[in-house]
Amino acid sequence: MKRIRILSIGALLLFGTSGHAQERRWTLEECIAHVYRQNIEIKTQELTAAEKRLSLSESKWSYAPDLSASADYSLSTGRVLDPTTYDFVENQTVSGNNASVGVSLPLFDGLRNHYNLQRAKLDLRSSLLAVETTRRSVRLNVTARYLEVLCAEETIRDAEQVVSELEVQAGGRRSGWSRPAR
């Protein structure tokens, strides 16, 4: 009974902890690529850049003429006003339609469109530089943390080596080696 209990506890510990181990080590480039995909600051900057691209496109379209069109159709029955004689007519059906098209093109607006386009180009450039700056900053942070992990692993290996050397020395003393008496 005691043996079964020990075996079941051992199996539980063996299989219970194996699920938490990482399958493989990530390289620095994999870590950076993962952070580029998941970092909220980078995504925010990229969305801002996309917004600036749309603003630039809108500024380019401001040079195009404004075009408007409308169509109207009316139908009246019963007692209606005849549009040709302006008399009321009983039990009649009068219909009418109207269509219009308009185009507007400013001749000179004080170079407003030109300056808006230049501003939109500079805003986009600034936004793209902000994305690149954020990416570089994140890359430096990930690299620093990766190097910290590597240094910590090296420190652990060094400490384990020192412990094993001390165990060898302690084992030698136990087996008959002793410090010379003074």
- What are the residue boundaries of the structural domains of the chain, listed by start? 27-64+108-174, 66-104
pLDDT at 145: 96
Higher confidence at residue 23 or residue 136?
136
pLDDT at 7: 46
Residue 155 has pLDDT above 90, yes or no: yes
Query: 130 with 42: CB under 8 angstroms?
Result: no
pLDDT at 26: 93
- Based on its alpha-carbon atoms, the radius of gyration of the chain, rounded to whole angstroms, reads 40
pLDDT at 174: 62
Both tokens of 171, joined, read 């084992």
Predicted confidence band at 92 (pLDDT cuts at 50, 70, 90)? confident
Nearest to 92 by CA among 71, 69, 75, 115: 75
Indicate the pTM of the whole model.
0.62
- Tens of pLDDT along 28-53? 999 999 999 999 999 999 999 999 99
Average pLDDT over residues 115-136: 98
Higher confidence at residue 170 or residue 53?
53
3-state secondary structure of 80: strand
Taking the CA of residue 178 as centre, how many other CA atoms within 13 Å lie in the half-sphere pointing to its CB?
4
Query: 144 with 62: CB under 8 angstroms?
Result: no
Cα separations (Å) of 3 from 6, 7, 8, 9, 122? 5, 6, 9, 10, 76
